Amino acid sequence: MKMFYPLEDQIKKFKKIVFVTGAGISQESGIPTFRGKDGFWKNNDPMKLATIDAFYDNPKLVWEWYNERRKNIFQAQPNLGHKAIAELEKYVEVVVLTQNIDGLHQKSGSTKVLELHGSIVRIKCSVCDYQEEILTKISGLPPFCKCGNILRPDVVWFGEPLPQDVWQNAIKFASQCDLMIIVGTSLVVSPANTLPIYAKQNNATLIEINTENTEMSEEMDIIIRKSSAEALPKLVSLFKNQL
């Protein structure tokens, strides 16, 4: 329990915990990150696969790439990090603000998850309000909506705004938490990287769990240079023992 030692005398004061999670937590479930040494963007040009212009230029190519990602994600299972976050709900109020689009937090049992960048499970029409969850391979690429327009993955691409209802709720939860735990994110993508600032304004304690330094490491109260699968179960054990 040494890695969380500074928290032991404070556990009882934490009533509202917010997790901000990124690709690092899902990497331990076999889903590649975007910016790491083996990340997606090392071998693929995001401007050709993850922008609205790229989609309209070559929707079939974009959909082929997303079909491969969907296949990988649907085979992935929550790891000990995901499961620990879900288990923590037994002891304290927990909200997960995730940049991930893989649905692994929900699959692990977390009940309050805000998907800042959308979900690869869902598809939506590029024009009308049609939206649906599809857990199988998308055939007939590119797929078309009943209204005649192209369907697209319900994810946030480069240059697109976050869903405003989700983002406003994320700000609210970040601004009201007692403890924010930032897991597996490099904190370089805006506006999600501003969430720790909102928490700090509420005098929340900030914990960073990441194997590498991030853009905001110097702002953290506690830094854990361990994987989420190693660190988070120990954090849950601390709550079990103290509450």
117 is catalytic: yes
Contacts 24+ apart (CB under 8 A), 86-89: 86/110, 87/236, 88/17, 88/235, 88/236, 88/239
Residues 143 and 169 in one domain: no
What is the band of 1 on the pLDDT scale with cuts at 50, 70, 90?
very low
- Report whether 113 contacts 98 (CB < 8 A): yes
Residues 186 and 112 in one domain: yes
**pTM here?**
0.92
Residues 49 and 18 in one domain: no
User: CA–CA separation, 170 vs 174, rounded Å?
Assistant: 6
Residues 187 and 68 in one domain: no
Residue 129 neighbours by CB under 8 Å, 6+ apart = none
Residue 5 has pLDDT above 80, yes or no: no
Residues 220 and 106 in one domain: yes
Is residue 191 reached through a cis peptide bond, with omega within 30 degrees of 0 on the bond before it?
yes
Positions at the binding site: 66, 69, 99-102, 125, 128, 145, 147, 184-186, 210-212, 228
In the chain, alpha helices (H):
23-27, 40-43, 46-49, 52-57, 59-75, 80-88, 104-108, 164-176, 195-201, 228-242
* The pLDDT value given to residue 136: 85
In 3D space, the residue among 183, 197, 195, 191 whose CA is nearest the CA of residue 225 turns out to be 183
* The pLDDT value given to residue 43: 57
213 φ/ψ angles, rounded to the nearest 5 degrees: -65, 150
CA Rg value for the chain: 18
Residue 104 has pLDDT above 60, yes or no: yes
* The pLDDT value given to residue 222: 93
Mean pLDDT, the chain, whole residue set:
91
Positions at the binding site for NAD(+): 99-102, 184-186, 210-212, 228
Residues 127 and 137 in one domain: yes
Q: What is the mean pLDDT of residues 67-88?
A: 95
Q: How many CB atoms lie within 10 A of CB 57?
A: 11
136, 155, 174: which is the final residue of a domain? 155
Q: pLDDT (tens digit, 9 = 90+) per residue, 105-120?
A: 999 999 999 999 999 9
Residues 206 and 243 in one domain: yes
- Report whether 238 contacts 11 (CB < 8 A): yes
What is the band of 33 on the pLDDT scale with cuts at 50, 70, 90?
confident
Residues 107 and 188 in one domain: yes
Number of domains in the chain: 2
Q: What is the mean pLDDT of residues 125-147?
A: 93
Residues 23 and 83 in one domain: yes
Residues 108 and 198 in one domain: yes
Q: List the CATH number of the domain containing 39.
A: 3.30.1600.10
What is the band of 39 on the pLDDT scale with cuts at 50, 70, 90?
very low
What is the band of 6 on the pLDDT scale with cuts at 50, 70, 90?
confident
Q: List the CATH number of the domain containing 238.
A: 3.40.50.1220
Catalytic residue among 70, 82, 117, 200: 117
Residues 9 and 83 in one domain: yes
The residue ranking higher by pLDDT, 163 or 136, is: 163
Residue 225 has pLDDT above 90, yes or no: yes
Residues 209 and 145 in one domain: no
Domain coverage including residue 146: 33-75+121-155
- Report whether 177 contacts 17 (CB < 8 A): yes
Residue 198 neighbours by CB under 8 Å, 6+ apart = 171, 174, 175
- The one-letter code for the residue type at 99 is Q
* The pLDDT value given to residue 10: 84
Q: pLDDT (tens digit, 9 = 90+) per residue, 231-241?
A: 999 999 988 88
155 φ/ψ angles, rounded to the nearest 5 degrees: -125, 160
